[in-house]
């Protein structure tokens, strides 16, 4: 049987029988792949401690009759989220769910992998959590090819984001258009065109960051044609923290 070593992050898990699980891993080498982790639910399972979400791991897998089987795993770094705030952990899990949804099976995307990895590190190690979460999500959209084209007429007081076309206009076009705050549009434009060092120098209000996040959620759900399970928790927690009804 052929053994392969892969590097990646666990982005999904579901039970299989009494002691096994199917884990979905976003790998650097193969994109999103599913493996069977035998016996991982047992209290004595050695693999369990090395297979945490939000932690980059090395996986050794063998070909199986249906899915490859994990025969070894080791974490590359420490869990950066074990002692972080609820806001930071929710943000990291939200990023993870988005990556799992935008990544096709067995299609490597190194740019997307690096964007996700760097985003996790950023929100765990910087104090501008909301700003870096927005920046990370926009980077993930760009890397997966679903980011909108942020261009608008200078001086306009209001713009509309067309979800179906992924473009801005100064008037509402069809039922798939949503108002986008000019300050939000400016934030997206900077995030798309400039490095993180430039973005971190921005002074963006909590209100704009919340509006931006909620619009990103709506845009992603439309383009992915499915609900993001953690979106409601993400949006409600952010709105509560920022005092927005």
Question: 20 lies in which domain range?
Answer: 3-75
Q: Which of 21, 47, 75 is the last residue of a domain?
A: 75
Structural domain ending residue among the three candidates 75, 94, 118? 75
- Res 239 pLDDT > 70: no
Q: Which of 46-55, 161-170, 197-206, 229-238 has the highest mean pLDDT?
A: 197-206
The model carries a pTM of: 0.90
Rounded to whole angstroms, how far apart are CA atoms 9 and 52? 8
Please indicate, yes or no, if residue 81 is contained in any of the structural domains: no
- Distance, in Å, from the CA atom of 136 to the CA atom of 141, rounded to the nearest integer, reads 9
Instruction: Give the number of other Cβ atoms within 10 Å of residue 54's Cβ.
Output: 19
Mean pLDDT computed over every residue of the chain? 89
pLDDT (tens digit per residue) in 104-132: 999 999 999 999 999 999 999 999 999 99
Q: How many domains does the chain have?
A: 2
* Mean pLDDT, residues 84-96: 91
pLDDT 10s digits, 131-179: 999 999 999 999 999 999 998 767 777 889 999 999 988 888 778 889 9
Per-residue pLDDT band for 30 (boundaries 50, 70, 90) equals very high
The answer to whether residues 59 and 119 belong to one domain is: no
Q: Which of 34-43, 73-82, 171-180, 232-241 has the lowest mean pLDDT?
A: 232-241
Rounded (10°) CA dihedral 58, 60, 61, 62 = 170
CA distance 80 to 121: 8
Phi-psi region at 204: left, alpha or beta (left = phi > 0; alpha = psi -120 to 50): beta
Q: What does the alpha-carbon distance between residue 195 and residue 19 come to, in Å, rounded to a whole number? A: 45
Question: For residue 135, which of 81, 237, 213 has the smallest C-alpha distance?
Answer: 213
Same structural domain, 101 and 30: no
Task: State whether residue 199 is helix, strand or coil.
Answer: helix
Domain boundary among 75, 102, 137: 75
In the chain, the percentage of residues whose pLDDT exceeds 70 is: 95
User: Residue 243 pLDDT > 50, yes or no?
Assistant: no
Provide the CATH number for the domain around residue 42.
2.40.50.140
> Does residue 244 surpass a pLDDT of 50?
no
């Amino acid at each position: 049987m052929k053994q392969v070593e892969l590097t990646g992050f666990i982005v999904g898990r579901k039970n299989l029988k009494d002691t096994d699980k199917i884990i979905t891993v976003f790998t650097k080498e193969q994109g999103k792949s599913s493996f069977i982790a035998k016996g991982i639910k047992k209290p004595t399972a050695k693999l369990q401690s090395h297979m945490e979400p939000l932690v980059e791991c090395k996986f050794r897998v063998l070909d199986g009759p249906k899915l490859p089987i994990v025969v070894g795993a080791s974490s590359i770094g420490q869990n950066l989220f074990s002692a972080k705030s609820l806001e930071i952990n929710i943000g990291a899990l939200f990023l993870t769910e988005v990556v799992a949804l935008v990544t096709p099976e067995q299609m490597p995307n190194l740019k997307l992998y690096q964007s996700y990895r760097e985003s996790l590190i950023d929100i765990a190690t910087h104090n501008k959590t909301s700003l870096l979460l927005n920046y990370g999500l926009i980077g993930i959209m760009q890397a997966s090819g679903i980011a909108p084209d942020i261009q608008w007429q200078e001086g306009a007081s209001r713009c509309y984001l067309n979800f179906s076309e992924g473009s801005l206009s100064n008037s509402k076009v069809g039922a798939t258009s949503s108002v986008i705050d000019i300050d939000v549009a400016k934030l997206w434009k900077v995030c798309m065109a400039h490095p993180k060092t430039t973005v971190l120098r921005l002074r963006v209000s909590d209100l704009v960051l919340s509006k931006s996040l909620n619009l990103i959620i709506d845009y992603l759900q439309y383009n992915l044609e499915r609900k993001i399970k953690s979106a409601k928790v993400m949006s409600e927690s952010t709105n509560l923290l920022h005092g927005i009804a």
